[in-house]
Amino acid sequence: MENIVVSTFRSVQDATLGLNKLKDLDQLNDIDIYNIVMIRKTSGDKFEFLYKDGPDTRDLPVDAALAGTLIGVIGGPIGMAVGMLTGAMVGAADEDDTEDLYREFLNDVNKQLAVGTVAIVLDVEEDGELMINSYLEPFNGVVVRRDIAAEFDKYDQEQERELNEEIEEEERRLKEAREENKAAVRARIAKLKSERDERTRKIRERNARTKEHLQNKIKALDDRWKAANAQMKEKIALQRDKIREKLGKMDREIATAFENEAARLDTPKAK
């Protein structure tokens, strides 16, 4: 599964040793690192990049010490994770679901992130927690992680359920309302449905970005497979198949969601 993994360390030396172990795991294809940054918090609103690699880190400014607000140039989950980790995105991010999801996650991390603390942030594919945790344990790494897809799915389902319940409640009120009150109830229903439509639009946009993200990962693994020896080819092929399976599952879920949306739109409206 693809996770955002944040590991915090008490010193640059420990973090560097941990980083080297993570690179070794990536080279062995025991994990697949898509993006990685290592940062050190230098004050309440500034941090220093000690290492960065991956497509979502390319646009990071090269200056060593950065004001937290500059983190907005990074795209993708790694950018939001780093930005929230350093406090830059709180209250300043786009009003998107991502901020809500990562706020809880990175509140856990921030308990470890005092001035001087070093953190490694990974966007990584891993089969379980044991591999990364056991390799970082000798260097006193404290690890926190979230499954990106699972967190978004859970959040989407909760928000959709709440909106649908509110709409159903208002539609019940409309049936019972006096004539002079019906306009206000209809306005509330229209507002809630507009919010639901906007959520659907955001989900579709995010799904499109996620599909492109997965397709790019498959392409990167194809390129790595061509240069690998026979043993590595087998590992890479297995990882590539897992991502293809994830992409296929996502296509099926999107198709089902569109069918459900079409059925909802065909439902007779309350009078």
74-110 residue pLDDT tens: 445 566 666 656 555 444 444 455 556 666 666 666 6
Residue 261 has pLDDT above 70, yes or no: no
Query: How many separate helices (H) and strands (E) can be counted in the chain?
Result: 7, 6
14-34 residue pLDDT tens: 999 999 999 999 888 888 888
CA–CA gap between residue 235 and residue 264 (Å, rounded): 44
CA–CA gap between residue 207 and residue 145 (Å, rounded): 22
Residue 2 region, left (φ>0) first, then alpha (ψ -120 to 50), else beta?
beta
Predicted local confidence at residue 21, as pLDDT: 95
Predicted local confidence at residue 14, as pLDDT: 95
CA–CA gap between residue 234 and residue 225 (Å, rounded): 9
**pTM to 2 decimal places:** 0.61
Residue 13 has pLDDT above 60, yes or no: yes
DSSP string over 194-262: HHHHHHHHHHHHHHHHHHHHHHHHHHHHHHHHHHS-HHHHHHHHHHHHHHHHHHHHHHHHHHHHHHHHH
